[in-house]
Structure 1
Amino acid sequence: MTDPKPYFEAHVFCCTNRRPDGHKRGSCAAHGSEKLRDYMKARARELGLDGKVRINSAGCLDRCELGPTMVVYPEGVWYTYHSPADVDEILDTHLVKGGRVERLMLDTDQRELRPEQAG
């Protein structure tokens, strides 16, 4: 038996976890992930990605120090993002054109943001 066709071409999980203020690891919500997720959903609709791409909230993705973070499946590419401009670049480059936004991509073993990733 073969796998069924995917329901969505891509699935984006945006961490919106919130920890108490002052928590040593921080949290994506404390860095604005909820507003950025809402912006991403609205922009995806404007770009005609409805039905092709699903953008969801996620609980803790366990990369809090790098947040806000998101992961895009089926590729499993992780991003940090800090502004609507970052969201626009990810939508256009990754989800519309199939490329990658290398400056915002997170490495598997990365523990801190690189200078070009800081928001």
Structure 2
Amino acid sequence: MPPFQHHIFFCTNERSADDPKGSCVQRGATALHAHAKEACFKAGLKGAVRVNKAGCLDTCAQGPAAVVYGEKDLPSGVWYALNTKEDVDDVIQQHLIGGNVVERLRMKLKG
């Protein structure tokens, strides 16, 4: 059994300002990660949900990027494009607590 019900990673990669791909940090990922940690704590999810920073998830063009792994989300996880604190709150309430993927925020992945 994994140590957490869900594990969410936020891309905190930072490229130079002139890189055409941009980066999740330039799009606000650092603040969204901090908000997610605080919101999960306030929701009583300590021990059930782990919120971490990640290096490049190679989806910066759609970012800020976050990926959720959990028992039902394996093996590839659920990839989200999160632009606001409200988006983060929706993922926490609907996915991490409610068990439902937030389709409007789900990334369109190549593959």
Where in structure 1 do 4 or more consecutive aligned residues deviate above 6 Å? none
Other-structure match for 2:101 = 100
TM-score by length of 1: 0.86
Distance of 2:38 and 2:27 partners within structure 1 = 19
Instruction: Report how far residue 64 of structure 1 moved.
Output: 1.0
Distance of 1:63 and 1:7 partners within structure 2 = 27
Distance of 1:108 and 1:39 partners within structure 2 = 25
Q: CA RMSD, aligned part only?
A: 1.0
CA deviation digits over 1:39-89, x for unaligned, max 9? 010000000000000000000000010010000003100000111110100
Other-structure match for 1:58 = 54
Residues matched between the structures, number: 106
Aligned 1:20-99 pairs, distance under 5 A: 20-74=16-70, 75=73, 76-99=77-100
TM-score by length of 2: 0.92
Other-structure match for 1:113 = none
Other-structure match for 1:14 = 10
Q: Alignment partner of 2:26: what SS? A: helix
Distance of 1:107 and 1:30 partners within structure 2 = 20
Distance of 2:89 and 2:14 partners within structure 1 = 24
Q: Any stretches of 5+ residues in structure 2 without a counterpart?
A: none
Distance of 2:26 and 2:6 partners within structure 1 = 26
Distance of 1:13 and 1:85 partners within structure 2 = 17
Instruction: Report how far residue 22 of structure 1 moved.
Output: 1.6
